[in-house]
């Protein structure tokens, strides 16, 4: 179990140190229907820090975003809604389109980010077997409908039909999932270490799909959301029901570098 955890931590470390890391994001630009100019000119809707005044345009119409470069063929831009988005490279910069409840935005990345701000690495609480929890997967009937906020202030409606229930150090704990997929269950939570030893807005946790009315929660794999590393992420915040009144001294600690 510990060896698997260490391998997972190394993979996460490598991912965040890579050119495509969250730490390389340098901009988030919300698109408007119609033409959105991309370039270094001040009036650009997608403002680049360098390069041509106009590198091209993104045309957003009929539910589709199309990249129209100044010196090349058009390209349909696949968003992150159904998988990996289309990435457009402009020198050491790149951009891609994300979809947030039907609103499109361009994320701009500098792939050479580590030259100016090297990755500070990740820190973890020591492994704690007591935070590997076998929880009950209880049905909520009727389902609970929540308005989940994000760091951008937007609200997303989430319907929750189950919750993970367990006891730790004599306290009853219930966690509501943000999403339940075919391969994993996703949680967002805060605890008494948030803002101190761990990231203030809370942490993420993924768990295998439940079996026979039970779900395994390994809080040693709790990790920081993207917004711990960049101001250009759109992370969900934990609902009040997932603000835990105890310290979860397991998983990832607060990032020591500059977000």
Read off the pLDDT of residues 194-238 as tens digits, 9 standing for 90 and up. Answer: 999 999 999 999 999 999 999 999 999 999 999 999 999 989 999
E strand segments, 31-170: 34-39, 46-47, 56-61, 64-69, 75-77, 88-90, 93-100, 103-110, 132-149, 155-168
- From the list 185, 186, 206, 203, the residue with the least C-alpha distance to 194 is 203
Q: According to the model, what pLDDT value does residue 235 have? A: 92
Residue 5, pLDDT > 90, answer yes
212 backbone φψ class: left, alpha, beta (φ>0; ψ -120 to 50): left
Q: According to the model, what pLDDT value does residue 168 have? A: 95
How far apart are alpha carbons 222 and 191 in whole angstroms?
Answer: 11
What DSSP assignment string belongs to 204-248?
EEEEEPPBTTEEEEEGGG-B--GGGT-TT--PBPPPGGGB-SS--
Phi and psi at 4, nearest 5°, equal -60, -40
Read off the pLDDT of residues 155-178 as tens digits, 9 standing for 90 and up. Answer: 888 899 999 999 999 999 999 999
Q: What's the mean pLDDT in 33-56?
A: 95
Read off the pLDDT of residues 54-100 as tens digits, 9 standing for 90 and up. Answer: 999 999 998 899 999 999 899 999 999 888 999 999 999 999 999 99
Residue 257, pLDDT > 90, answer no
How far apart are alpha carbons 90 and 111 in whole angstroms?
Answer: 10
Q: According to the model, what pLDDT value does residue 259 have? A: 63
Residue 131 CB coordination number (10 Å)? 18
């Amino acid at each position: 179990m510990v060896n698997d955890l260490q391998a997972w931590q190394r993979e996460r470390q490598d991912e965040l140190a890579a050119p495509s890391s969250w730490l390389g994001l340098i901009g988030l630009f919300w698109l408007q229907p119609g033409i959105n100019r991309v370039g270094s000119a001040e009036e650009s809707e997608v403002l680049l820090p360098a390069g041509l005044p106009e590198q091209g345009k993104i045309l957003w119409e009929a539910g589709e975003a199309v990249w129209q470069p100044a010196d090349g063929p058009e390209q349909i831009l696949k968003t992150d809604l159904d998988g990996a988005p289309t990435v457009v490279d402009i020198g050491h910069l790149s951009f891609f389109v994300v979809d947030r409840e039907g609103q499109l935005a361009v994320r701009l990345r500098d792939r050479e980010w580590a030259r100016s701000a090297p990755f500070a690495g990740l820190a973890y609480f020591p492994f704690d077997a007591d935070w590997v929890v076998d929880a009950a997967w209880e049905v909520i009937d009727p389902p609970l409908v929540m308005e989940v906020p994000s760091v951008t202030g937007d609200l997303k409606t989430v319907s929750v039909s189950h919750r993970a229930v367990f006891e730790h150090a004599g306290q009853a704990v219930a966690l509501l999932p943000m999403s339940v997929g075919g391969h994993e269950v996703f949680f967002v939570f805060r605890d008494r270490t948030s803002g101190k030893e761990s990231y203030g807005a809370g942490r993420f946790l993924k768990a295998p799909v439940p079996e026979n009315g039970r779900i395994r929660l390994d809080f040693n794999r709790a990790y920081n959301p993207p917004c711990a590393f960049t101001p250009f992420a759109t992370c969900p915040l934990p609902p009040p029901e997932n603000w835990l009144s105890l310290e979860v001294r397991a998983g990832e600690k607060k990032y020591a570098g500059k977000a």
